[in-house]
Amino acid sequence: MKTKKFKIFATDGKRIWKVFYITKDKKGDFYCGPIISGIENIKLSYHVSGRRYIKSGNISEEVQKLQKLDDFKGMEQLGLMRITKEILVRSIKPLGRIYEGKKFDGSAFIDIRKYKSHVIVIPFLLEPDNFGLLVDFTRTFAGNSQIIIFTEIKPWIVLIIYE
């Protein structure tokens, strides 16, 4: 299996920032986290074994054990990210990095002009073709929300974006 990389971008109509990533590596493990200039690496991982970790710099801590990815059923949350307009555009250690045009396998763009002050991005893993779970779940986020689904890997990656 080839490593798959997915990037989430934010734009104000003038600039584009990489703000979040999700990667599925060759072993089938998922990694996700924010992209913050000048801050040490922070990421969440969900391993084929079902173990979930949070890592900041060189410190890694197991946070919970979920279902194994080999026979994945239903939905599981990968993480959560809050993108604040003010933090995105400030010049000292802003959230995100200006996009340089590197290759990736999938992307999602969030136009921050659509939202008042911030946007929440919740990445999930979804059992392929199980749209019923997604429909029931998204009723919670009715209104000013978006759903983006990456179906080229299993389990699928779903992004719920809302204010």
- Domain residue spans in the chain? 4-162
pLDDT at position 73 over 50? yes
| CA-atom Rg of the chain in angstroms | 16
Lowest mean pLDDT of 15-19, 36-40, 45-49, name the range: 36-40
pLDDT in tens, 42-71: 889 999 999 999 998 888 898 889 999 999
Omega before 123 within 30 of 0, i.e. cis: no
CA distance 87 to 85: 6
In the chain, count of helices (H) and strands (E)?
A: 2, 13
Interval 10-20 mean pLDDT: 81
Those residues whose C-beta lies under 8 Å from the C-beta of residue 155, and which sit 6 or more positions away, are 69, 72, 125, 126, 127, 128
Average pLDDT of every residue of the chain: 83
Residue 92 confidence (pLDDT):
44
Percent of the chain with pLDDT over 90: 34
Q: How confident is the model at residue 99 (pLDDT cuts 50, 70, 90)?
A: low
pLDDT at position 153 over 70? yes
Provide the β-strand partners of residue 42.
Answer: 56
Interval 75-98 mean pLDDT: 68
CB atoms within 10 A of CB 153: 19
pLDDT at position 110 over 50? yes
Cβ atoms of residues 156 and 128 within 8 Å? yes
Residue 151 confidence (pLDDT):
93
62 alpha-carbon distance from chain centroid: 19
Residue 95 DSSP class: B
Cβ atoms of residues 7 and 107 within 8 Å? yes
| Share of the chain residues as helix, strand and coil, in percent rounded to the nearest 5 | 10, 50, 40
CA distance 136 to 118: 25
Interval 84-113 mean pLDDT: 68
